[in-house]
Chain A
Amino acid sequence: MQDWILCAKPSNQSARRLELSVLCHSLSVFLYSADFMLADENSFIVASGTAFGELLIWLCRRDQHDKTWRAYPWREYHGHSGSIFGVSISPTISFGDVDRRLVATCSDDRTIRIWDASGVEEETIAVIQRGAGVPGDAPRTFSHCDKDLTMTWAHSSRVWSVGFATMIHAADEDPSMLLLSTGEDGQAQTWLLDVGKLFSLDQPTSSALTMRYTDHHHAGKNVWAWCHSRNEHDVHFITGGADGQVVRRTYDRNGDADARVMRLAQLFKAIRPSVSDSVPVGTVLAQRTIMLRSYLVAGTNQVIATTDTGLLLRGETACKAASWRVLACSADSQPLVLSSGLAQHHAFFVDRSRSMLCVINVNTSVIRDVCQLRRTRIATVQMAWSKIAPTLQSPHFCIAVSYFRKQDFELIWVTVDAQGSRFSSTYVSLPYTFETTSACVDGEAGVLLLGSRAGAIAVYTGINDRTIFTSPATCRRRTHGEETITSITILKDGLEHSGDELFYLTTGRDGTYCALRLDLRWSGDQNHGDEEDEKLLARLSVIHRGTPPLGPYIEGAQLVKQFDHTQKLLLYGFRSKHFMVWDETNQTQVMAVVCGGAHRSWNLRLNDSTSEEATFVWTKAGAFMFYSQTQADHKILVSGGHGREIKALAVHRRDDSRWLIATGSEDTDVRLFEYTIGVDGIADLKNIAVIRKHTTGLQDLRFSPDGSILFSAAGMEELFAWRLSTVPVLGQGVVFVGALPRTDTQSDARIMSLDIQLSRGPNTFSIVAAFSNGKAKTIEFSCEDHVEDATFTIRSQLDLGTVCLTQVRTVSNPTTTHIQAITGATNGFVTSTGPLQMAAYSSELTTVSHKVHQNSITAMDTKPLTSNHELVVTGGDDNNLALTLARYSPEDNRKPAFRTLTMPNAHAAALTALTVVEDRCYGSGYKGFTIISAGNDQVLRFWRVTIAEGLFPELGQSYGKRTPETALSALGMRERTGQDFSEVQVEFVKEQYTNVADISGLEILHRHPTGDSQIDEHTQSLLVLVVGVGMEVLDIELWDRSASMGTQGAANDQ
């Protein structure tokens, strides 16, 4: 057996060749971790942690005479109460007059400890001298030491690694060392070690280690690896997790985001009595309880604010202070109503004392009256749309005004130019009980969308600035449950779409965001109907619903251009005490600031081009707070996949070069990937969606034949259905359409396997689900397009006793139109049950079982042979690969006869995945299949199977007069009698190692131009997707055995 290399470092930067040789042996102990560091060219220090919590330090030295390396034990430290998973040796630290060397360790016991290793080099020389020059005579024992210099409690579960990063020299302080630790809790923690405190003679009252930040940027558990880099200004930590993600975290000497928050409480003393004469400044300042009501961030350090005394202020922040200036003031000290958005440097507000809509240019602070509103009691003013006319250079706006009389709603169309402003208004009739909270005008399409406080969306069509009155074309209730819709955004990616389809994005306080498709079509038959009866019909359907890790108060969304000219989606909102900006496209957090919670005045400005630049202002405990960042504190360098091992796989072929791959993992996520082969032949695997709803590890996934519905199965009887579609900008749309109702709330059973068959109608499927409590259920699933509620009807249920069913496949029998289910179970039995559609009770089902494997059936696939023969290929925990023929006799097609051929030791460990493809190239007389099997031995094996027609004479007749014997002899196989089942011949083709451990699924990505799921003589190679601990696509030459097999692209290998 090879040993495990715990630590490796280049000793010489110019070395280009890697040679491994054993320098010296030391104690043979269970080491979990090690680090070494060159002391000089003839010696290096080794520190290692054992499974039993000891830290061993020794020195390796090259003998001056015979140039051989020897290890000299130095010290053994005790203190940890669990295995030491990480060790790091510091460089020498000059402190006082002494050079110090430290060792950091971390352990199962959740602590990080620092040990003194100063003088290891010198002391060891003494040991060598004591050995009296006799080579190898050095004492083989360590001197014991039990006291660490300092310790601290770190991660909430096992601490995997700790290490010294770099020295921080502050001006008049003792040197500090920056450390990083990573853990099983998925976190990376940054620590500051006060070296002075470590060696101070006084007993320190607190740990010399203080935590600077805790980062959680990896999915699932386990951050395994990290390194650091530094330049003049910054220190970067790069971490790698079990999710395959690589993240760069920038260490900020000024502290993290929360340390940069400015609290500007004394702002009112700074209000300068200036600007226009009309403002009664004196009276304003006399009132001591001035409060800021609403904000609008106008630039990175510019804020427009209203006060409860009717002032409009402009604030500028610099050097932790703000200076304010009064821009306007209402006549009766009633607060002004500020518009929620800013566009083309213009914002709007309403002076309620005059019912006057005003526009302010935030660059110049010039304020103009636009128009007198016809009604009073104005509630909100929103920027619904804006555009710059290319010829006039004058911006157009559409302002949505709502009133406290709830049914009143108005659009004001405003054009601002050098002379002044022009306007027109549109009265909007609201649906019954509709209280508007968000508005969006799609100027190009002439569509208005309104969101309500109760989650409804109203759609108006044919809108432009000449419209006087409009009433809703449709109203979709409960789109965000019964929660407020906070924003509506137009989704447009610049690509041409059918003019009848428009796409929008909404955010809500139900914690979700939605992509909506609006279908517009004319009613009636255009050839016959009267033109006057024709009506534009609008239908709004949800095509994507996402639940980002913020909320439930999702307050808005913004689309931002990326470097590759695509757009990414930023969502923002509150999570407990934080305000967060989340990059949904790249699944990463852009900003997080502690603001105190959701209920407060706030405003956010995100830069359109550089997404990480953000300014956020808010009120907290009566104080004005300000935060601004130019970049996020971390960046994803390589985006990751699942946080734990993949347990389920489904593949849908979109076309010749694109496959949709769904993977389900123990981390309870389902991820959708798109695997594409470009015209240049370069393959790309891209994660296009993450689906989070399951509460237990995934067990199986299955696409509907057209790829529009995905079924996912997990523990706790969770069977979910998802509708998939393409969404502009977002790419992949996923909508949850329903879950199998749990009949027994006490049951924790896992749904181990699924298979589906098209049933009546295009949106109706028969699903067969196998449960871990020995039950199998046939479920009729139907879901209309555009609806989010699917129906699950249990048609039949069978109980196969106290086993765990692991596999299920449906077999449709064309002679009888019955569907049979073939199941595999942990007891090694293959069972055929049916017919499934007819019976509602188990007693009416016929069940025939057949023992194939000694222990659990861990993989299964089926292929039809004839109208009444099915080939069942199974792999077992017993290492066997078995081929079972199920023959459904025409007389009683419910009771199949089974015959099995098994191959012991097909793999060296449990056979956990297999797939069967039909071959086409052998001509008549027999059928051919290629089987790919994979096991826990991390080997893929390819088998070719030929089945002679002698087994199914009715097929033989149709093929002509060749007998099976002649067919087999044509293959060069020995003729045999039927007793030993020689009609089925197996040939081992080849095998291939894979990097994926614990393989749970395996699928062929066909490259055949016809898209046929068969292998023939034109099939040069197969792309095989393997999933387990990571995923990998292997390109395997099928026919030329001598040719080398290359790994086409290993993705997300852990």
Chain B
Amino acid sequence: MGKSSKDKRDAYYRLAKEQNWRARSAFKLIQLDEQFDLFSYKEPEKCSRVVDLCAAPGSWSQVLSRVLIKGESFGRRAWMEKMDALVNEVNLASQEAPEASIETEVGSLNLKAQKPVLQPRTNVKIVAIDLQPMAPLDGIIQLQADITHPSTVGRMLAALNPEKSETEYELVDLVISDGAPDVTGLHDLDIHIQSQLLYSALTLAIRVLRPGGKFVAKIFRGRDVDLIFAQFKLLFRRVHIAKPRSSRASSIEAFVVCEDYTPIPGWTPDLGRPVNIPDTAKTSIEDDLENIPEQKRIVRTDGVVELSLPRKEATELRQNNRWIAPFLACGDLDAFDADATYRLPPGHVSLEPVQPPTAPPYKAAIERKRAEGGMYGKTKNKGQISNTT
């Protein structure tokens, strides 16, 4: 397989390099935003203080920087804005010269020349936190910190409120986390570690989110994921499981999008401790679980009939502490498909990644191997003979 095979295999990998994103995951946030309006475009003041957890190599921070600070638009939103502008221009033109047909006007307009209007926001404060160092980004405050450590909350709030005293600290509108462990291949362990990371992110989010705030985090949809959903539902009015088109369908990765944070009075979890969401909050989830006595059919506008079966049909595997968050696919259907193989345009040059991986733990091992004579070590006079089957 050649150098460009990953470009063919993964359209978003190629696009990320072409559009100068540090990682392909930037598209996931853009597509999540398309669906959920995470950055609240109608009321920009409602999303100006954002925390990006496990930020390295920084592609989500990059999106935050370019959307909130620079005021750029991406994806469908950018296209719609472009079209709006085009329609306005055509309207203007047709008012001036009513005899000209719209078709010729459209033909004369150069889509590419259309300059997108930047809409930078005011009072934007973005903090990116990671254990690993990260290359700097415009307007992003970077903290090298452990999200499980109690002192991180204070450092983070101080960074968000540089001129204010501790009592005046303003809380955060949005907490996002694209963090995942290095998967080991031991399935249960990977899912467990990911859920621990998710709980750490949630604990931190509860400490800094304003009521009504949003929380978006990566989740592995594996065994017992419905237990996790149920706990998120205790703290947020709306919880969805979202899958951007740029995330491969073949991967168990998805994003839990929690909106409208409702604090539980008198309860704040400690960082670095297991989260025990109090039982008193259960009522909110009970309300949401429609205990329908019999099956329910809804005819959707597209003619598809949705069938919900009564909960009494469920067995002991579905107890009250389980809840399945509604699924929402994000991103347009005509967007690139993360699973499809693309034919590269003729003369395609495979670009180098924008942000090469930060010092991996095995860097020294690779350097040593290279010094010994290539990735496969010395081919002659090796001291040990491998005994292979």
Closest to A588 in B: B389
Task: Contacts A772-B340, A902-B306 given; indicate if A878 touches B329 (C-beta within 8 A).
Answer: yes
Which residues of B136-184 are within 8 A (CB) of A? 146, 148, 181-182, 184
Shortest distance between the CB of B338 and any CB in chain A (Å) = 8
Whether A258 contacts B181 by the Cβ 8 Å rule is: no
The residue that B327 contacts in the complex, of A108, A749, A750, A904, with Cβ under 8 A, is A904
Interface of B: prevailing SS = loop
A interface list, Cβ under 8 A from B? 1, 3-4, 27-30, 32, 51-53, 80-83, 85, 107-111, 153, 156-158, 160, 184, 187, 211, 213-217, 221-222, 224, 242, 256-258, 549, 578, 582, 587-589, 592, 594, 633, 716, 746-750, 771-774, 802-804, 806, 826-828, 851-852, 854-856, 858, 877-880, 882, 899-905, 908-910, 936-939, 976, 979-982, 986-988, 990-991, 993, 997-998, 1029, 1054
Given contacts A153-B365, A855-B329, contact A936 B221 (CB under 8 A): yes
Min distance, Cβ B144 to any Cβ of chain A, angstroms: 12
The answer to whether A109 touches B387 (Cβ under 8 A) is no
With A107-B361, A773-B340, A988-B309 already in contact, 9 other A-B pairs whose C-beta atoms are closer than 8 Å: A1-B199, A28-B148, A109-B364, A158-B184, A217-B389, A856-B339, A902-B305, A903-B308, A997-B222
Quick check: B308 and A904 within 8 Å, CB to CB?
yes
**Inter-chain contacts of B370 with A (CB < 8 A):** none
User: What 1/0 flags go to B322-347 for Cβ under 8 Å of A?
Assistant: 10101111000100111111111000
Cβ of B365 and Cβ of A109 under 8 Å apart? yes
In the bound complex, residues from chain A placing their C-beta under 8 Å from that of B249 are: 804, 806, 826, 855-856, 858, 877, 910
- Lowest 3 CB-CB distances: which A-B pairs, in order? A82-B361, A856-B249, A804-B339
Across the interface, do A879 and B327 meet the contact criterion of CB distance under 8 Å?
yes
Would you call B356 an interface residue if the criterion is a C-beta within 8 Å of the partner chain's C-beta atoms?
no
**B384/A214 in contact, CB under 8 A:** yes
Report the minimum CB–CB distance from A184 to chain B (whole Å): 7
* B307 x A242 contact (CB < 8 A): no
CA A38 to CA B295, docked complex, whole Å: 58
> Number of B interface residues, CB 8 Å?
82
B354 at the interface (CB under 8 A from A): no
Q: Which residues of chain A come closer than 8 Å to B362, judged between CB atoms?
A: 82, 108-110, 157-158
Closest approach, in angstroms, between the C-beta of A502 and any C-beta of chain B?
A: 32
A selection of 10 A-B contacts at a CB cut-off of 8 Å is: A32-B193, A109-B361, A221-B185, A772-B341, A802-B342, A856-B250, A858-B249, A880-B327, A900-B303, A936-B223
Q: Which residues of B contact A900 (CB under 8 A)?
A: 303-305
**Given known A215-B387, A988-B309, contact A749–B195 (CB-CB < 8 A):** no
Give the chain A neighbours of B221 by CB distance below 8 A.
908-910, 936-937
Residue of B nearest to A858 (CB): B249
Once A81-B364, A826-B340, A982-B297 are accepted as A-B contacts, the answer to whether A748 and B327 lie under 8 Å apart by CB is no
Selected interface stretch from B45-53, B225-233, B255-263: B225-233
- Interface status of B386 (Cβ within 8 A of chain A): yes
Residues A991 and B341 in contact in the complex (CB < 8 Å), given A108-B182, A902-B307: no
Which one of A30, A187, A774, A852 lies within 8 Å of B304 (CB-CB)? A852
Complex alpha-carbon distance, A1 and B274, angstroms: 9
Neighbouring B residues of A110 by C-beta, 8 Å: 362, 365
Q: Which residues of B contact A (CB under 8 A)?
A: 1, 5, 8-9, 131, 146, 148, 181-182, 184-189, 192-193, 195-196, 199, 221-229, 243, 245, 249-250, 252, 272-274, 295, 297, 299, 302-309, 313-315, 317, 322, 324, 326-329, 333, 336-344, 360-365, 368-369, 384-389
A998 touching B252, Cβ below 8 Å: yes
- Give Cα distance in the complex from A415 to B75, angstroms: 88
Q: Is the CB of A803 within 8 A of B307?
A: no
B385 touches A111 (CB 8 A): no
Q: Are B361 and A108 in contact (CB under 8 A)?
A: yes
Asked if B329 and A51 sit within 8 Å, CB to CB, the answer is no
A1-B224 in contact given A108-B361, A153-B368, A902-B304 (Cβ < 8 Å): yes
The DSSP consensus for interface residues of chain A is loop
Residue of B nearest to A186 (CB): B388
CA distance in complex: A157, B182 (Å): 13
Q: How far is A603 from B215 in the complex, measured between Cα atoms in Å?
A: 71
CA distance A901 to B388 in the complex (A): 54
* Contact between chains at A53 and B252 (CB < 8 Å): no
What is the bound-complex CA distance between A501 and B313, given in angstroms? Answer: 59
Residues of chain A within 8 A (CB-CB) of B295 are 986
Known contacts A1-B195, A110-B362: A990-B315 contact under CB 8 Å: yes
The residues of B that contact A81 with a CB separation of less than 8 Å are: 361, 363-364
Within 8 Å CB of A773, what residues of B?
A: 340-343
In contact, A936 and B333 (Cβ under 8 angstroms)? no
B222–A111 CB distance below 8 A: no
Complex contact B148–A30 (CB within 8 A): yes
- Contact partner, A936, options B131, B195, B222, B338, Cβ 8 Å: B222
Q: Which residues of the other chain, B, contact A772 by a CB distance below 8 angstroms?
A: 339-341
CB distance from A688 to the nearest CB of B (A): 19
**Taking the nearest CB of chain B, how far is it from the CB of A538, in angstroms?**
38
CB distance from A22 to the nearest CB of B (A): 11
Instruction: Given A1-B228, A991-B315, verify A854-B327 contact (CB < 8 Å).
Output: yes
Question: Contact: B386 with A214, CB < 8 Å?
Answer: yes
Nearest-Cβ distance from residue B209 to partner chain A, whole angstroms: 21
**Among A587, A749, A909, A991, residue most surrounded by chain B Cβ atoms (within 10 Å):** A909
Q: From residue A148, how far is it (CB to closest CB) to chain B in Å?
A: 14
B387: contacting residue among A156, A222, A592, A1029, CB under 8 A: A592
A852 to B303, CA, bound (A): 10
Residues in B whose Cβ lies below 8 Å from that of A257: 387
Beta-carbon contact of B387 and A981 below 8 Å: no
Closest to A550 in B: B389
Nearest to A52 among chain B residues (CB) is: B131
List A contacts of B387 (CB < 8 A): 213-216, 256-257, 589, 592, 633
Query: Quick one: which of B1, B182, B365 has the most chain A CB within 10 A?
Result: B365
Q: Are A854 and B365 in contact (CB under 8 A)?
A: no
The residue of chain B having its C-beta at the shortest distance from the C-beta of A989 within the complex is: B313
A261 to chain B, nearest CB (A): 11
CB distance from B322 to the nearest CB of A (A): 7
Most buried by A among B185, B299, B303: B185
Residues of B within 8 A of A749 (CB): 341
Chain A residues, CB < 8 A from B389: 216-217, 549, 582, 587-589
Contacts known (A852-B304, A991-B317, A997-B187); A936 close to B252, Cβ less than 8 A: yes
Give the docked Cα–Cα distance between A652 and B382 (Å): 48
Partner of B361, one of A83, A156, A858: A83
B residues less than 8 Å from A937 (CB atoms) = 221-226
From B131, B181, B309, name the one whose CB has the most chain A CB atoms within 10 angstroms: B309
Decide if A827 touches B337 in the complex (CB within 8 Å): yes
- Bound CA span A860–B273, Å: 43
Which residues on the B side are within 8 Å of A858 (C-beta)?
249-250
Please determine whether A750 and B341 come into contact, CB atoms closer than 8 angstroms.
yes
Q: Which residues of B contact A108 (CB under 8 A)?
A: 182, 361-362
Question: How far is the CB of A145 from the nearest CB of chain B, in Å?
Answer: 20
A4: chain B residues at CB < 8 Å are 188-189, 192
Assembled-state Cα–Cα distance A357/B364 (Å): 65
Distance in Å: Cβ of A98 to nearest Cβ of chain B: 32
B193 cross-chain contacts in A, Cβ below 8 A:
30, 32, 51
A85 & B339 in contact (Cβ 8 Å cutoff): no
CA distance in complex: A645, B189 (Å): 15
Which residue of A217, A908, A1054 is within 8 Å of B225 (Cβ)?
A908
Q: How many whole Å from B193's CB to the nearest CB in chain A?
A: 7
Q: Decide: B341 and A747 in contact? CB cutoff 8 A.
A: yes
How long is the Cα–Cα vector from A29 to B147 in the complex, in angstroms? 11
Within 8 Å CB of A987, what residues of B?
A: 309, 313
A221 to B5, CA, bound (A): 23
CA distance A588 to B341 in the complex (A): 38
Taking the closest CB of chain A, its distance from the CB of B92, in whole angstroms, is 35
CA distance in complex: A667, B67 (Å): 42
Residue of A whose beta carbon sits closest to that of B360: A82
Tell me the bound Cα distance from A672 to B326 in angstroms: 40
